[in-house]
C-alpha cells in the first residue's frame, strides 16, 4: 500500500504543477494540496477516544498522504471535522450530527424512511398551523438523527448539504456512502462502474484519475 500512497502524492504534485488551468469541481478550495499528515500516535488517540479502528486505507492515507485537503468535491475533511457554513468545524460524537462511532453502521441497503412525515395541506397556511409544524419537526428530528449514521464519519461535502460518509464500524466498514437526505432521498452506498460498493481508495483514486486525464489531454 505504500506504493499506492506514493503514487497519490506524485499525482497530486502533477496536478499542482499543471501548466494549464484544470476544470476540476471544487479544486479552487484546496488547490490539490493536502494538509500535513497525522502521526501514528494522533490516529491512535482518535481511535482510542472513539473505541474504533479506522479502515486501513483511510488510516494509511491520513498518515502517509495528508489529513484532508485535496480530494473529491470540495475536498477531504480533516479527521474529526466537517463543513460548517462556509468553513469547517470539529464535530463531536455522539452529537448533533455524527452518531456513535463504535456502534455498527445500521444499513446494508439504501435507506430512506419517510414514514411519519406529515402530509402537507396546500390549502392551509403552514406558518399558522402549529400542529403541523410540531409534527414535521418531530419527523425531521427522526430523519436527521445522528444515530442513523452510527459507525460512520463525514469525509466530504458536495455543496447544498449533500455529503459523503466513510463507514468505520460494522459490515460496511471501509465503504463510502452518500447522504442525500437534504433531497429526502436518504442514504445509499456509492456505486461506480458497476461496483456495488466503493472503498475509500477507489473513491479517491477515481477522482484523481479524472483530474489527471485533463493534464494528459
168-214 pLDDT tens trace: 999 999 999 999 999 999 999 999 988 899 999 999 999 999 999 99
Residue 103 has a pLDDT of: 97
Q: Please list, residue by residue across 169-207, b when 16 or more beta carbons sit within 10 angstroms of its beta carbon and e when fewer do.
A: bbebbbbbbbbbbeeeebbebbeeeeeeebbbbbbbbeb
Residue length of the chain = 217
* One-character DSSP codes across 166-193: EE-SSTTTTBEEEE-GGGT--EEE--BT
Residue 124 has a pLDDT of: 60
Q: How far is CA 103 from CA 61, 88, 150, in A?
A: 23, 25, 6
16-31 pLDDT tens trace: 999 888 999 999 999 9
Residue 95 has a pLDDT of: 87
| Burial class, 1, CB count within 10 angstroms (exposed 0-12 / middle 13-18 / buried 19+) | exposed
**CA–CA separation, 155 and 46 (whole Å):** 15
Domain range annotation of the chain = 2-215
User: What interhelical angle do 200-215 and 2-16 show, nearest 10?
Assistant: 40
Residue 69 has a pLDDT of: 98
Residue 217 has a pLDDT of: 60
Residue 122 has a pLDDT of: 56
Cβ-Cβ contacts under 8 Å for 133 (sequence gap 6 or more): 126
Cβ-Cβ contacts under 8 Å for 121 (sequence gap 6 or more): 129, 132
**CA–CA separation, 153 and 43 (whole Å):** 14
Q: Radius of gyration of the chain from Cα atoms?
A: 19
pLDDT (tens, 9 = 90+) of the chain, 217 residues, equals 889 999 999 999 999 999 888 999 999 999 999 999 999 999 999 999 999 999 999 999 999 999 999 999 999 999 999 999 889 999 988 888 999 999 999 999 999 999 989 887 655 655 667 788 888 889 999 999 999 999 999 999 999 999 999 999 999 999 999 999 999 999 999 999 888 999 999 999 999 999 999 986 6
Amino acid at each position: 500500500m505504500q506504493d499506492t500512497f506514493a503514487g497519490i502524492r506524485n499525482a497530486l504534485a502533477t496536478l499542482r504543477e499543471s501548466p494549464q488551468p484544470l476544470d476540476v469541481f471544487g479544486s479552487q478550495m484546496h488547490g490539490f494540496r493536502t494538509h500535513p499528515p497525522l502521526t501514528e500516535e494522533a490516529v491512535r488517540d482518535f481511535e482510542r477516544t472513539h473505541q474504533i479502528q479506522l479502515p486501513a486505507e483511510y488510516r494509511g492515507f491520513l498518515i502517509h498522504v495528508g489529513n484532508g485537503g485535496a480530494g473529491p468535491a470540495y475536498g477531504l475533511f480533516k479527521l474529526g471535522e466537517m463543513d460548517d457554513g462556509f468553513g469547517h468545524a470539529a464535530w463531536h460524537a455522539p452529537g448533533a450530527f455524527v452518531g456513535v462511532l463504535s456502534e455498527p453502521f445500521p444499513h446494508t441497503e439504501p435507506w430512506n424512511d419517510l414514514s411519519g412525515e406529515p402530509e402537507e395541506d396546500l390549502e392551509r397556511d403552514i406558518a399558522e398551523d402549529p400542529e403541523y409544524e410540531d409534527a414535521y419537526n418531530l419527523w425531521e428530528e427522526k430523519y436527521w438523527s445522528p444515530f442513523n449514521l452510527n459507525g460512520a464519519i463525514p469525509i466530504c461535502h458536495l455543496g447544498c448539504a449533500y455529503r459523503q460518509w466513510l463507514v468505520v464500524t460494522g459490515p460496511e466498514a471501509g465503504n463510502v456512502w452518500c447522504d442525500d437526505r437534504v433531497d429526502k432521498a436518504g442514504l445509499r452506498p456509492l456505486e461506480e462502474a458497476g461496483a456495488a460498493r466503493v472503498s475509500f481508495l477507489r473513491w479517491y483514486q477515481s477522482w484523481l484519475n479524472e483530474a489527471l486525464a485533463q493534464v494528459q489531454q
